[in-house]
A and B are shown apart, each in its own frame.
Chain A
Amino acid sequence: MAETKKYWKGIEELTKPESVKGLAENEFNTEISTEEFLGNKENLEGSQTSRRDFLKYMGFSTAAATLAACEAPVVESIPYVVAPEEIIPGIPNYYATSYFDGHDYASILVKTREGRPIKVENNKMAGINGGANARVHASVLDLYDSTRLNNPLINGEEANWSDVDAGISRDLNAAVASGKQVVMLTSTVMSPTTKKLVKEWGAQTNGFKHVMYDAFSYSGKLDAIAAATGKRALPTYKFQNADVIVSFGADFLGDWIGQNVSADYASRRKPGKNMSHHIQFESNMSLTGSNADLRHKIKPSELGNALIALYKELGGNANGGETNLSAQVKDAAEKLRKAGSNGLVVSGTNDADVEAITIAVNKLLGNGGTTVDYSNRTYFRQGNDAAMMQLIEDMNAGRVGALFIDNLNPAYLMAGNSKLTEGLKKVALTVTFAEKENETTALCKYVCARHNYLESWGDFMPADGVYSLQQPLIRPLFNTRQTEDCLVKWMGKNGTYYDYLKANSAATANWKKALHDGVYKASTAAAVVGDDEPGFFERIFGGDDTDSTEQSETVSGGAAVDIASISSRLSKTKGGAYEIQFYENTAMGAGILANNPWLQELPDPITRVSWDNYLTISAADAVELGMENTNESNGALNGSYATVTVNGKTMENVPVFVQPGQAKGSMGLAVGYGRSAAGKVGNDVGVNAFLLMDGSHSAEVKIEKGTGTHGFACTQLAHTMMGRKIVNEVTLDTFLNQPARGEGGWNEVTEFETFKGPLTSDETNLWDDFDHQTGHMWNMSIDLNLCNGCGACVIACHAENNVPVVGKEEVRKHRDMHWLRIDRYYSSDMTEEVAEEQGISGIDMYAAMEKPSSSPEVAFQPVMCQHCNHAPCETVCPVAATTHSAEGLNHMAYNRCIGTRYCANNCPYKVRRFNWFQYEGNSKFENNLAMNDDLGRMVLNPDVTVRARGVMEKCSMCIQRIQLGKLTAKKEGRLLKDGDIQTACQSACDTGAIVFGDVNNKESEVFKLKQNERMYHLLEEVGTQPSVFYQTKVRNRA
């Protein structure tokens, strides 16, 4: 029943509704005299504007005019017309994909924000290469490189795809009609579907050949393996099973054969009875050598003889084997014999003979399947130097009618081979598929603008039983097309490569799950892949043309390998007075990402030099050749120039870097630099070692001193620890058998005599302590045994925290902005003990300590803000811009910072970084692509402020991730779990050296690590009480 209730608002409304109604109608009690004023003209004219009024009007109009004159920048943000379901602004999405650039492969997760890929993360589900290296972490920036090709090119002019398609089709028909070869030249192709597609496409023409060539070739190694096992594919190396590792020049922690073994290696580097023992024979100081327990210097030409000596020590029959390292080889042999099948010998050359002996040594150890698995192969390197040489010969002989080059830059990689460019001119149709203009695109008629990997579909078969997918994360930014799509189109097929891939993929049945995970697990893949013979490719595609030739001469087990003749050939190798060893350095690899400023600015883990490559020579050779490294008055490093002649080719002005640990008589030179058409960042950085290189990784060299000096951008000026307790280290024997704590212990905590008796620095306090028990207490553990110095964390930090790139000149002035740096220390021959023994005075002792040993031990130490709980920076800031959080972190309020730099001065760890200039939006820093290029800016992490000039910045322990983790847990109504929050450096570290967490959670890993007897704080005695702690380095030797 409806009832009309009447509510009253006041007693008056109830009692006298009429009067209230009257009041409501008459809102203004008194009449407003507008009419009186405005209607009366006389009155209006007679009114005077008072001085006050005049000033008011004038003030207002001036202000209004001023405001109107200021044009506010127009920032357009365009809303989605149809909002994608999965995108919530502010919430990142992660997609699994795979990275492969012809050289590096990794299975990765990519973080996208509002549809923009901004960060690469490791894919923990990956069967192989789930740990991305520094280059893969940096690759996301290349997506936003504004120098990428926007359109395909015909003869260097921008064109549209239909013209390109028509032109290629016409020219290809002509080439086929002429009866000449049609050749597809690519990098290693790890994609089974691409291979199949290429094969299908090639089948349409007669005389089609597919040639693979690797940027840094291991063709000789593959040949030797093919001769021994019958299959031209690399074995899987299982470092996790190796008790003793002996490496002959293999930089397996740096760049080797594409298999990322650092996590496997690290799994056996945890101190304990189970710790592996690693012996390295090498000429250059490599990342691997610097992590070895024993490192022996040897010239590249002597590696073969040392291996023969080892083979003989282990009971093999061979010729030669004279080496001046016989004692060291004997020692290695003994250890290997003891380890038996858990021993592992690896070598790192492109010389088939060396690899043949290595295979034979491993066979003697009986480690097949345990540490070297020939039945589970990897396909990271499949290039064939002989095929490539044949191709060049064919081109020059006019036998090639059409050449398609994909994912490879032969004009740069074979810069020393003039026949290549000559040959290219004789090919009627030259097509290259490239993301950017490079050295090769200039020589080709058609340039098919290629997608970035983040825009492409694909699949990879990095190893037997491992399958991964690549999916696009963003619509193509430019008018580009991926190579496979071109082939699909040219074959006249319906649909796109996506359809082709989906139909032909090994994971077709489980497409969605495979796409989600990025990888297709071996358990499910087994049905497809099979065990050993025939391999995966054969099963799917029925043989592979690169394999077919070798297969005829296969004998399994290596019995047919003629050790006697190989060893006598090898033992006759004559080295020169000076030999050069080409290598790939950590930042640049083969130089594919040379236009990536993050990588260019990444200091080499060994030399700490960025923006350069250089000839590394030993101190003794430097003295002999009259070369030197000196420091300018501002600390910047300078080096002499050398004129280098290799294989009859001379290169002038090669900068010289004196490298401790370099074998005397040997020199190192990194490839990947000296690009001439990489883009504005990468052009003319360093020298092109490929000009000198001739397939082999090492060669005889003639060297002369050049004129002038070269300026290096070296971030570290002092190289030794000066007898200080910085990287604490101990031998395994001491670690196992002696007490850590207490007086004389190997990890003794410094105590101070006080009136209360001896106290540690944590207990002696001038200040009131913060409450560390309530809530979270974030701590970080860094295991110096697991860190191998690879630099992936540095790049991850760059990408996560929008760290600016400052360029060579600024790095040279020691103004690098890295929030996280990896300090590298060499041991010195001088110690306090030596000085005492020899009666050397303090002054002379410290002067001698500054000099690294010629065979130094190396230690790496990642250092970021230590988040001191008694932070020296916090007390000195006049404006309280840096303060302490209740969770044990040291905060930085950029808005409050006035830039006195007092905090940086007072930081014992020197981790604070000052914005000396405006690095964002400043044309002077155009190398800082991520901040000075409209497209480059897309890579910035929107959760992290881009800092302005004059502001101090530093590691925040990825505060944005901590907040996100806490909020997520809160939203889900649960407590934060250990591992919910991972800092960028931690998640980039595939060896697990960095562990972050809450020490108030007694179940957390970081809490357990804090109780570890190896735990120590850096500069503990200063009393800063850092939240970051380190785990003592343990070296496995007496």
Chain B
Amino acid sequence: MHYEAPIRKPLITGDKSYHDITVDVARPVETKAPRSWWLVFGISLVAFLWGVGCILYTIGVGIGTWGLNKTVGWAWDITNFVWWVGIGHAGTLISAVLLLFRQKWRMSINRSAEAMTIFSVIQAALFPGIHMGRIWLAYFVFPIPNQFGSLWVNFNSPLLWDVFAISTYFTVSVVFWYVGLIPDFAMIRDRAVRPVTKHIYKILSFGWGGKAKHWQRFEEVSLVLAGLATPLVLSVHTIVSMDFATSVIPGWHTTIFPPYFVAGAIFSGFAMVNTLLIIVRKVFKMEDYITIQHIEMMNIIIMITGSIVGIAYITELFIAWYSGVEYEQYAFLNRATGPYWWAYWSMMTCNVFSPQFMWFKKLRTSLMFSFFISIVVNIGMWFERFVIIVTSLHRDYLPSSWSMFSPTFVDIGIFIGTIGFFFVLFLLYARSFPVIAQAELKTILKSSGEKYKQLHEKDGHH
């Protein structure tokens, strides 16, 4: 049994036994959904369907239904893409990187964080598809053998790298997530009373028997996948950033982008995890597992990554000045003082200033404030991508081609649709999947559970 210093705060509060954990985690799956769930689900579904409608309209009529023009060829589409990919970074970071670093506190949040990752990557993956003028030829981006002669994809193109990066990331994330789910599905299977339910979870749990060998393989696979997933955390957003960094457009052509984008992705991902978990713990009464301490840890990471992003912003400005390139200088001056100054300063306020409140313990342990900041951060991160994409494009080299961008209802509809789609998936997940990795969590109950810690204290185990 791993021993944990008494000075560390318990990761599971309350008087919990193994069975309590089982019951608590299985409860949302086994009980009927409350009316509030249906309400939120209904709203999400409507938003999702509206988005589907807008997507179909775009595919049916043309990209001209968006607000783009000859100068600004990407705007909300790629902004949303990068935003969702960024959000999708927290899950793998929590489950893989923190696993390798043996951070036990990840155990009660990694399941939902990973679910969030997968669902947001699905949203992200939509955009490179629908932003194409001819989506019906989207398979051209895959290096598949073909009858067009020696026609091959262009391996120089960062967009192609994106295809590989995102599909790899998505695949590994799904597998990693699913492997973790197997013992928990088995738990639900074992508790299920209705034969249909039992049968479904039987299939989902792949015949898990809880044998020692099963557990050994489970641990091994988890570790191997964690090893695989860790570089992906860094690579995906690095490659996404190269969409911009390898171009020649002032404001895009920046070598700082890979680390800056990765930090920003973690930043926004953790904020999104916070948003979701603060609701989940309340609704599912899981305050004992997702404790204030968890939220605090997340807030600290948000603060740190927010500051890294802030440094990156300032570095960009400095380098623009230091480079002596007039186009670069103007691009950044224009961001801060041009027609889109409001977007730039929204980004600055949300991403750089707002996380600084987390220096105060009182604020970072306040649920309401954390929730508020988590929303603010994601708004800020959306603006960051908007600023990078639109303000760089709308005034580039030749003033004769300068333009502006304004979204149409289709742009907005598709964005809202992806948010709806995301919540549809997450809500379905919350009522059919074990939202906490209970099997893993049980392994730390006796070392980090509040009751056991008190027992250690009382018994003088040191």
Q: Which residues of A contact B (CB under 8 A)?
A: 631-635, 716-724, 726, 810, 813-816, 821, 823-825, 842-843, 846-847, 861, 863, 872, 875-880, 896-902, 904-906, 908-910, 912-918, 948-952, 1018-1019, 1022, 1024
Contact = CB atoms under 8 A, between A and B. Distances in A.
B397 to A, nearest CB: 5
B133 A949 contact: yes
Given A724-B327, A899-B133, 4 more contacts: A631-B404, A872-B247, A917-B61, A1018-B398
B399 A863 contact: no
A510 to B, nearest CB: 49
A950 B132 CA distance: 7
B132 A908 contact: no
Contacts of A899: 63, 132-134
8 contacts: A634-B403, A846-B330, A875-B156, A898-B134, A905-B73, A914-B133, A1019-B397, A1019-B398
B257 to A, nearest CB: 15
A950 B73 contact: no
Nearest to A1019: B397
B203 interface: no
B69 interface: yes
Nearest to B327: A724
A49 to B, nearest CB: 35
B131 A815 contact: no
- Classify the secondary structure of A's interface with B: loop
A879 B74 CA distance: 18
Given A843-B333, A878-B159, A904 B73 contact: yes
B385 to A, nearest CB: 14
B152 interface: yes
Contacts of B70: 814-816, 904, 910, 912-914
Nearest to B405: A634
B402 interface: yes
B201 to A, nearest CB: 37
Nearest to B74: A905
A88 B406 CA distance: 51
Contacts of B330: 722, 846
A910 B393 CA distance: 10
Contacts of A633: 404, 406
A908 B398 contact: yes
Interface in B150-194: 151-154, 156-160, 163
Interface stretch (B40-48, B137-145, B366-374, B412-420): B137-145
B440 interface: no
B403 A635 contact: yes
A823 B154 CA distance: 33
B73 A914 contact: yes
B326 interface: yes
Contacts of A718: 395, 399-400, 402
A635 B69 contact: yes
A879 B329 CA distance: 33
A876 B157 contact: yes
A898 B138 contact: yes
A602 B289 CA distance: 68
Interface string B102-137: 000000000000000000000000001001111101
B246 interface: yes
B64 to A, nearest CB: 3
Nearest to A915: B133
B73 A901 contact: yes
B69 A814 contact: yes
Contact of A724 (B128, B132, B153, B326): B326
Contacts of A724: 326-327, 397, 399
B132 A910 contact: no
A1021 to B, nearest CB: 8
A880 B143 CA distance: 12
Contacts of A634: 67, 69, 403-406
Contacts of A914: 63, 68, 70, 73, 133
A879 B154 contact: yes
B259 to A, nearest CB: 22
B64 A810 contact: yes
Contact of A950 (B68, B134, B406): B134
A933 B206 CA distance: 63
A859 to B, nearest CB: 11
Contacts of A909: 397-398, 401
Nearest to A1021: B325
Nearest to A1018: B398
Nearest to A901: B73
A813 B137 contact: no
B248 interface: yes
Nearest to A875: B156
A877 B333 contact: no
Contact of B399 (A721, A847, A880, A898): A721
A823 B247 contact: no
B406 A878 contact: no
A235 to B, nearest CB: 39
Contacts of B333: 842-843, 846
A876 B326 CA distance: 24
Interface centre among A631, A635, A815, A861 (most CB of B within 10 A): A635
Contacts of B71: 814, 910
A898 B248 contact: no
B132 A823 contact: no
Nearest to A1023: B248
A394 B393 CA distance: 64
A816 B330 CA distance: 26
A61 B158 CA distance: 47
Contacts of A906: 247-249
Q: What 8 pairs between A and B have smallest CB-CB spacing?
A: A899-B133, A950-B133, A916-B64, A635-B404, A901-B73, A634-B406, A823-B400, A910-B401
B337 interface: yes
A320 to B, nearest CB: 44
A721 B158 CA distance: 31
B207 interface: no
B400 A905 contact: no
B62 A902 contact: no
Nearest to B336: A843
A481 B302 CA distance: 81
A202 B134 CA distance: 64
B400 A863 contact: yes
B148 to A, nearest CB: 8
B157 A1022 contact: no
B406 A905 contact: no
A94 to B, nearest CB: 34
Nearest to A721: B399
B396 interface: yes
Interface string B242-268: 010011110000000000000000000
A617 B141 CA distance: 52
B334 to A, nearest CB: 8
Given A880-B153, A898-B133, A916 B68 contact: yes
A876 B397 contact: no
Contacts of A880: 151-154, 157
Given A634-B406, A875-B246, A902-B73, A910 B134 contact: no
A720 B158 CA distance: 34
A1022 B134 CA distance: 31
B367 to A, nearest CB: 38
A898 B247 contact: no
A841 to B, nearest CB: 10
A898 B402 contact: no
A876 B396 contact: no
Given A632-B406, A843-B337, A875 B133 contact: no
A630 to B, nearest CB: 12
A199 B191 CA distance: 110
Contacts of B246: 875-876
B157 A902 contact: yes
A901 B326 contact: no
